[in-house]
């Protein structure tokens, strides 16, 4: 009877040790001579840069993001913190150059915002055997970026015309 109890205790300790080991992960941060940083799951062989071992606890690396407050009531100007470029309209200040610059700034911000902050479903990540991944934009996302880029080019042309050049 005692031997069965000892066997169960040893087996439980072994399973516990495997479970503890599975919860921790090790990554290696590699910095080459040009300063390029990459990460690997295995230590590199014959690497000319700096290698830093990183012990990762996946249970400790979680975050709960705060909810964003709703936008203030009222009309949001076109192009302000959105993917929509500013719409052309009559000059509000009477200064065509200033209005053209404002439209160009809004178009650039809209393009940069869309490019830097893709929405869910805009990008699919495809991996390869060596562990690297690359982003593949969806057709609708690529079309939206193309339209926003065209809006920037049009706003640049409008500004050149307004400046008389």
Q: Which residues contact 28 (CB under 8 A, 6 or more apart)?
A: 39, 40, 41, 42, 43, 44, 51, 52, 53, 54
| pTM given for the model | 0.42
pLDDT digits (tens, 9 = 90+) for 38-54: 888 888 888 888 888 88
| Burial of 133: CB neighbours in 10 Å, binned 0-12, 13-18, 19+ | exposed
The residues that bridge with 111 in the sheet, in sequence order, are: none
Stated length of the chain: 165
Q: Which has more confidence, 41 or 83?
A: 41
Confidence band of 151 (pLDDT split at 50, 70, 90): very high
Confidence band of 93 (pLDDT split at 50, 70, 90): very low
Instruction: Give the N- to C-terminal CA distance of the chain in Å, as an integer.
Output: 97
Domain spans, the chain: 24-57, 96-163
């Amino acid at each position: 009877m005692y031997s069965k109890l000892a066997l169960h205790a040893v087996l439980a300790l072994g399973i516990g040790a495997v479970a503890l080991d599975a919860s921790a992960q090790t990554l290696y941060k590699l910095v080459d001579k040009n300063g390029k940083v990459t990460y690997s799951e295995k230590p590199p062989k014959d690497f000319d840069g700096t290698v830093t071992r990183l012990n990762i606890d996946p249970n400790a690396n979680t975050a709960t993001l705060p909810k964003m407050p709703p936008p203030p009531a009222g009309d949001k100007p076109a192009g302000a913190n959105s993917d929509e470029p500013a719409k052309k309209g009559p000059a509000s200040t009477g200064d065509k150059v200033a209005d053209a610059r404002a439209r160009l700034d809004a178009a650039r911000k809209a393009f940069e915002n869309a490019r830097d902050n893709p929405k869910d479903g805009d990008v699919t990540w495809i991996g390869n055997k060596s562990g690297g991944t690359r982003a593949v934009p969806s057709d609708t996302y690529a079309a939206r970026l193309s339209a926003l880029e065209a809006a920037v080019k049009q706003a640049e042309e409008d500004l050149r015309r307004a400046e008389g050049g």
